[in-house]
Amino acid sequence: MTLGESLILSVVGFGVVLGVLGLLALFIKAMARALYKKEQAAAPAVKEVVKEEAPVAPAKDPNKVELPADTSMGQLDLHDVSDRDAALIMAIVANKLDAPLNTLVFKSIKEVK
Amino acid sequence: MNILDTLSNLAMSSGIVAMTWQQGVMIIVACVLLYLAIKKEFEPLLLLPIAFGMLLANLPLSGIMEEGGVLKYLYTGVKTSIFPCLIFLAIGSMTDFGPLLANPASLLLGAAAQLGVYMAFILAIILGFTPQEAASIGIIGGADGPTAIFVTTKLADHLLAPISVAAYSYMALIPLIQPPIMKALTTEKERKIEMKELRTVSKTEKILFPIAVTIVCVLLIPSVAPLLGMLMLGNLFRESGVTGRLSDTAQNAMCNIVTIMLGTCVGATANGAVFLRADTLKIIALGLTAFAFSTAGGVMFGKLMCKITKGKINPLIGAAGVSAVPMAARVAQVEGQKYNKSNYLLMFAMGPNVAGVIGSAVAAGYLLSMFGG
């Protein structure tokens, strides 16, 4: 095989990998959009029920501060815990509570010995 | 018969007399690898059986890798690609494709990080390897041991030992290989970028994904079916929610059993007379080149995506596209935190990381369809 042939084969091969994975990316986007639309279509019925049962919006909790999704809040005190372990603990708590991390406040994390 | 004759006969029939210098060198290499696996914990689950297989096969007169030898029988699983495919089944059942589904653009990073496969292929051709050998060497850049073994057994099985040893050794050395390349190709500002929280992925998406990937990829490149099919079957076991027992077996008991057999057999192919050649050194050098180019490809594509999205993507996660799950994602996380303590890139890097597994399987399928005969 000549160098030229190997070059062409490599460019095509790289293109094939990019093409196939790009196609998959498009498929995932389309699937997510379709599922989102399906959820949205089912959502109004739920909203109506909620409206009937609770016409008045609940009073806003004065202690609850909502932050942008990419922001964390407050100062966290770590006692004998590494940053990595603290991040893991916070992620697990958020996952178990099914609540986004930016709506939770962690004051301190301490290792129990 | 006097006692001296008996002792003399015993000595003459022992392995010590029969040992060649190549076997001696390979025994030392095996001991070094055992040291790295046990003391330094470099991919011990794989390196230890590989090293011990190497040791067994190079002990003279053991006959363990000759006709009738136990490892020769087990080697059938490697030769027929059963073991690499079963390992892919296990990987699939251990992999959460959620981060990839939440950010589908990760797939492009996984694709870009296959650059090393093709660069090493071209360089191997320049160095005089046959196209089949060059393809097997190139796939080291996929940073995926089972894929490298799968392709090599199909295209150039006489190179199985150096290629698999190079692939697994470099995978273990990813924390040393990648950071300098990541640093050289990115600015400090790029390395500090914090990424937006990923969306929640529904169970339906997770179930549909393995089915869709199998259909799309196998229809486009049929030769990818054994690897990708098994990967996605394992993932469907995990995500379907109705095959808990199968998923558990695949990711624990089966994975461990196959790892023992695969590692030991691959190590046993490292026969001194075959392994200690100039070609082995070339393969080791090309493997490193492949890893470096794959890392660079992922990072460069990450930079491009960073530019397109106006700074929303940290290019460091591109390096995780080289597969080697989850080591490469961890490297992205560690490097990101060096420059921004509050930056947690791990989940974002897992997307390209698992995309790299699919990418290397597709690259392997392409090379097999070109040179598989």
CB of B96 within 8 Å of a chain A CB? The answer is no
Q: Which residue has the higher pLDDT, A90 or B304?
A: B304
Inter-chain residue contact B366 with A13, CB threshold 8 Å: yes
Residues A9 and A30 occupy one common structural domain:
yes
Inter-chain residue contact B196 with A69, CB threshold 8 Å: yes
pLDDT of the residue at B35? 95
CB of B111 within 8 Å of a chain A CB? The answer is yes
pLDDT category of residue A112 using cuts at 50, 70 and 90:
confident
> Residue B112: its chain A contacts at CB < 8 A?
18
Show the 3-state SS of B231-298: HHHHHHHHHHCCCHHHHHHHHHHHHHHHHHHHHHHHHHCCCHHHHCCHHHHHHHHHHHHHHHHHHHHH
For residue A11, give the chain B residue with the closest CA: B118
Residues A105 and A67 occupy one common structural domain:
yes
> Residue B355: its chain A contacts at CB < 8 A?
21
pLDDT of the residue at B316? 96
Domain carrying residue A54: 1-58
| Minimum-distance CB partner of A18 among B111, B204, B212 | B111
> Residue A23: its chain B contacts at CB < 8 A?
216, 220
Q: Would you write out chain B's pLDDT as a tens digit for each of its 373 residues?
A: 678 888 888 887 788 888 999 999 999 999 999 998 899 888 788 889 999 999 999 999 888 998 899 999 999 999 899 999 999 999 999 999 999 999 999 999 999 999 999 999 999 999 999 999 999 999 999 989 899 999 999 999 899 989 988 888 888 889 899 999 999 999 999 999 999 888 889 999 999 999 999 999 999 999 999 999 999 999 999 999 999 999 999 999 999 999 999 999 989 988 888 888 999 999 999 999 999 999 999 999 999 999 999 999 999 999 999 988 888 999 999 999 999 988 899 999 999 999 999 999 999 999 999 998 5
Inter-chain residue contact A70 with B341, CB threshold 8 Å: no
Q: How far is B101 from chain A (nearest CA, A)?
A: 7
Query: What percent of chain A is predicted at pLDDT more than 70?
Result: 71
What does the domain layout of chain B look like in residue ranges? Answer: 46-56+77-371
Inter-chain residue contact B212 with A24, CB threshold 8 Å: yes
Domain count across chain A: 2
Inter-chain residue contact A25 with B105, CB threshold 8 Å: yes
Inter-chain residue contact A17 with B216, CB threshold 8 Å: no
pLDDT category of residue A104 using cuts at 50, 70 and 90:
confident
Residues A30 and A81 occupy one common structural domain:
no
pLDDT of the residue at A64? 52
CB pairs under 8 A between A and B: 104
DSSP A2-17: -HHHHHHHHHHHHHHH
Residues A111 and A64 occupy one common structural domain:
yes
Last residue of a domain, one of A58, A74, A92: A58
Residues A38 and A87 occupy one common structural domain:
no
pLDDT of the residue at B46? 85
Inter-chain residue contact A10 with B121, CB threshold 8 Å: yes
Residues A81 and A106 occupy one common structural domain:
yes
> Residue A16: its chain B contacts at CB < 8 A?
221, 362, 366
Residues 274-293 of B with CB under 8 A from A: none
Residues A52 and A71 occupy one common structural domain:
no
Q: Give chain A's mean pLDDT.
A: 77
Inter-chain residue contact B131 with A1, CB threshold 8 Å: yes
Give CA B347 to chain center in angstroms: 21
DSSP A57-110: PPPPPTT-----TT---S--EEES--HHHHHHHHHHHHHHHT--GGG----EEE
Last residue of a domain, one of A21, A42, A58: A58
Q: How far is B357 from chain A (nearest CA, A)?
A: 11
| Minimum-distance CB partner of A28 among B104, B122, B221 | B104
Residues A3 and A42 occupy one common structural domain:
yes
User: Which of B204, B276, B248, B221 has the alpha carbon at shortest distance from B20?
Assistant: B276
CB of B107 within 8 Å of a chain A CB? The answer is yes
The whole-number average pLDDT for the span A86-99 is 83
Residues A9 and A54 occupy one common structural domain:
yes
Last residue of a domain, one of A38, A58, A78: A58
> Residue A7: its chain B contacts at CB < 8 A?
122
The whole-number average pLDDT for the span A16-33 is 93
| Minimum-distance CB partner of A14 among B114, B204, B212 | B114
pLDDT category of residue A49 using cuts at 50, 70 and 90:
low
Instruction: Give the CA angle between residues B314, B173, B151 to the nearest 5°.
Output: 95
For residue A6, give the chain B residue with the closest CA: B122
In three-state secondary structure terms, A113 is: coil
**A21 backbone dihedrals φ, ψ, rounded to 5°:** -70, -30
Residues A3 and A19 occupy one common structural domain:
yes
